[in-house]
């Protein structure tokens, strides 16, 4: 990899910021599509569901993930309503705690978990086991046993070893395991593009083109201890258009039809996975659940008609699109530093009291985020800024490029929208920084749903 004198990540967006980022007329203004539905600025202070961030910071501290509960619920309902005849599984990996598991079930969704720990939270939240799906490319015997004993609605099988493990467990427990087979359709999708290959160099699923998927199904159908619900495919993340789903659906339904023709079994269900994109910055234009539904249902109907088969019961697994936009992270500014760049340009570095430990996506995926000064109005000119964390790591960046008022200073509060997915769930205690709190706000009430980790919590593990 070509190294850059100031470190890889610094040089990417150049001195004027990325092409999609334009200096705002008024940096105090919110970009509506980036924030949850109950967020606004009241007297120049960011407010969510009637609760000001000044009060939230005072009561719960910072950094804090602030969840707009009604927005989260509304997004869950939007998928349920857009896919009325399908089963919608909330992909818990995006963000899971007892409260969020309860919210999605109350809104009529099911829950997709991918580890023993996520399953434990879902059961603790009293999610009906029949409405839980268990994923994972390497499920342990213990995880499978817990899932079978709990009576989860379906286990999505990802390997031949797993078929053997489930056979032994289900036989020992004297029950029938409801299973799906995760297949790889040779499609990888992301934002507006997808790549379609014959094979997939990745860890998940059974290859269709390589024949493993058909073989897995053949073995499962021969197992009295298992009942095959259908095929599952998940093609990527942060997807804005349905082209990739179309190619994947064609290939998976083709296999579905072959199974019916050659093995005499018509699987009742078909899962198209998740991956629906959200807006992190002004460059993003995600599809609505209604648009996605219209296209995806048409794709499946047309392909089934072309294959002369009945349309199976569909399911989808949105995670990011439900959790992501409902939450912003509230930080306090600790230090600022103007750094000279080439050609007389400069960048304002704004250090906050969190960082990659509460949002690893910028460092891990090069993700883009936005940001606003949340605690006051500023009439200072907007300057190209970078919001960075407090970790001892040059890649510890939260917001790579944003225009913030040039007078941002220590003690100010900043808010970064779109942090509801894959932030708290990927949080760490790097540099022994305790993990941040999660606060849900609804109708002017803010309540803790995940408490802030303390040094005592860290010590509890340190048995040295
Ligand atoms: C099998 C499966 N389903 C659903 C999801 C959720 O994806 P997203 O949060 O992008 O909707 C994932 C994400 O990795 C996944 O692996």
The domains found in the chain, sorted by start residue, are 8-61+326-461 (2.40.37.10), 69-323 (3.20.20.10)
**Residue that is written with structure tokens 């996506």 in the block:** 361
The 10s digit of each residue's pLDDT in 372-381 is 999 999 999 9
Cα distance between residue 335 and residue 71, in whole Å? 32
Cα distance between residue 361 and residue 338, in whole Å? 24
Mean pLDDT of 25-43: 97
| Mean of pLDDT over the chain | 94
Determine the distance separating the centroid of ligand 1 and the alpha carbon of 237, expressed in angstroms.
Answer: 7
| pLDDT confidence tier of residue 4, bands split at 50, 70 and 90 | very low
What is the pLDDT at residue 95? 98
Q: Is the pLDDT of residue 303 over 90?
A: yes
Cα distance between residue 62 and residue 358, in whole Å? 11
The 10s digit of each residue's pLDDT in 63-73 is 999 999 999 99
Judged by average pLDDT, the poorest of 104-108, 192-196, 289-293 is 192-196
The 10s digit of each residue's pLDDT in 304-347 is 999 999 999 999 999 999 999 999 999 999 999 999 988 888 99
Q: Is the pLDDT of residue 10 over 50?
A: no
Determine the distance separating the centroid of ligand 1 and the alpha carbon of 111, expressed in angstroms.
Answer: 12
Mutation probe of ligand 1 site: the residue of 118, 204, 237 with most atoms within 8 A of C-beta: 237
Cα distance between residue 175 and residue 161, in whole Å? 19
Mutation probe of ligand 1 site: the residue of 133, 273, 318, 421 with most atoms within 8 A of C-beta: 273
Mutation probe of ligand 1 site: the residue of 112, 319, 364, 424 with most atoms within 8 A of C-beta: 319
Contact 184, 203 (CB under 8 A): no
Contact 203, 179 (CB under 8 A): no
Cα distance between residue 183 and residue 233, in whole Å? 6
| CA-nearest residue, atom 12 of ligand 1 | 274
Q: Is the pLDDT of residue 7 over 60?
A: no
Cα distance between residue 460 and residue 464, in whole Å? 10
Mean pLDDT of 86-100: 98
Cis peptide before 356 (omega within 30 of 0): no
Active site residues: 392
CB contact set of 329 (below 8 Å; sequence gap of 6+) = 63, 64, 65, 66, 354, 358, 359, 398, 415, 416, 419, 423, 436
Cα distance between residue 196 and residue 244, in whole Å? 8
What is the pLDDT at residue 188? 76
Judged by average pLDDT, the poorest of 35-49, 179-193, 437-451 is 179-193
Contact 380, 332 (CB under 8 A): no
Backbone angles phi, psi at 121, to 5 degrees: -65, -45
Q: Is the pLDDT of residue 11 over 60?
A: no
Cα distance between residue 436 and residue 61, in whole Å? 9
Cα distance between residue 325 and residue 327, in whole Å? 6
Cα distance between residue 253 and residue 291, in whole Å? 22
- Ligand 1 atom showing the smallest separation from residue 237 Cα: 10
189 lines ligand 1 (CB under 6 A): no
317 lines ligand 1 (CB under 6 A): yes
Q: Is the pLDDT of residue 38 over 90?
A: yes
The 10s digit of each residue's pLDDT in 222-248 is 999 999 999 999 998 899 888 889 999
The 10s digit of each residue's pLDDT in 135-164 is 999 999 999 999 999 999 999 999 999 999
318 lines ligand 1 (CB under 6 A): yes
pTM for the predicted model, two decimal places:
0.95
315 lines ligand 1 (CB under 6 A): no
% pLDDT > 70, the chain: 95
367 lines ligand 1 (CB under 6 A): no
């Amino acid at each position: 990899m070509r190294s850059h004198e100031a470190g890889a990540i610094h040089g990417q967006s150049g001195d004027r910021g990325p092409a999609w980022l334009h200096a705002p007329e008024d940096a105090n203004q919110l970009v509506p599509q980036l924030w949850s539905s109950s967020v606004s600025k009241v007297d120049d202070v960011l407010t969510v569901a009637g609760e000001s961030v000044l009060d939230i910071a005072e009561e719960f501290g910072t950094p804090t993930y602030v969840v707009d509960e009604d927005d989260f619920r509304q997004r869950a309902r939007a998928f349920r309503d857009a896919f009325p005849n399908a089963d919608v599984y909330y992909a818990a990996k995006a963000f899971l705690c007892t409260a969020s598991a309860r919210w999605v079930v109350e809104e009529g969704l099911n829950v997709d978990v991918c580890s023993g720990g996520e399953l434990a939270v879902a059961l603790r939240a009293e999610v009906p086991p029949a409405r839980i799906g268990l994923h994972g490319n390497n499920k342990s015997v213990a995880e499978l046993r817990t899932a079978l004993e709990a009576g989860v609605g379906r286990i999505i099988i990802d390997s031949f070893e797993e078929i053997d493990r489930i056979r032994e467990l289900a036989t020992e427990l004297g029950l029938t395991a409801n299973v799906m087979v995760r297949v790889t359709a040779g499609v990888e999708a992301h934002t507006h593009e997808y790549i379609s290959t014959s094979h997939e160099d990745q860890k998940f699923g059974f290859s269709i083109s390589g024949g493993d998927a058909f073989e897995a199904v053949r073995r499962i159908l021969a197992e009295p201890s298992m009942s095959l619900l259908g095929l599952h495919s998940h093609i990527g993340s942060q997807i804005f258009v349905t082209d990739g789903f179309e190619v994947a659906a064609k290939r998976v339904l083709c296999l579905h039809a072959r199974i019916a023709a050659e093995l005499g079994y018509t699987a009742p269900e078909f899962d198209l996975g998740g991956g629906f994109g959200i807006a992190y910055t002004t460059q993003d234009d995600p599809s609505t659940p209604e648009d996605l539904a219209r296209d995806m249902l048409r794709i499946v109907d047309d392909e089934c008609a072309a294959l002369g088969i009945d349309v199976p019961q569909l399911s989808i697994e949105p995670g990011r699109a439900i959790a992501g936009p409902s939450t912003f992270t509230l930080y306090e500014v600790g230090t600022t530093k103007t750094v000279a760049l080439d050609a007389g340009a400069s960048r304002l570095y704004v250090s906050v009291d969190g960082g990659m430990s509460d949002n690893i996506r910028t460092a891990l995926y090069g993700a883009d985020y936005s940001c606003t000064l949340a605690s006051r109005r500023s009439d200072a000119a907007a300057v190209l800024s970078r919001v960075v964390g407090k970790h001892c790591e040059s890649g510890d960046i939260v917001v790579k490029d944003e225009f913030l008022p040039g007078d941002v200073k220590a003690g100010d509060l900043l808010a970064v929208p779109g942090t509801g997915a894959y932030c708290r769930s990927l949080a760490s205690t790097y540099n022994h920084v305790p993990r941040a709190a999660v606060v849900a706000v609804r109708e002017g009430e803010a309540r803790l749903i995940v408490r802030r980790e303390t040094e005592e919590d860290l010590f509890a593990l340190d048995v040295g």
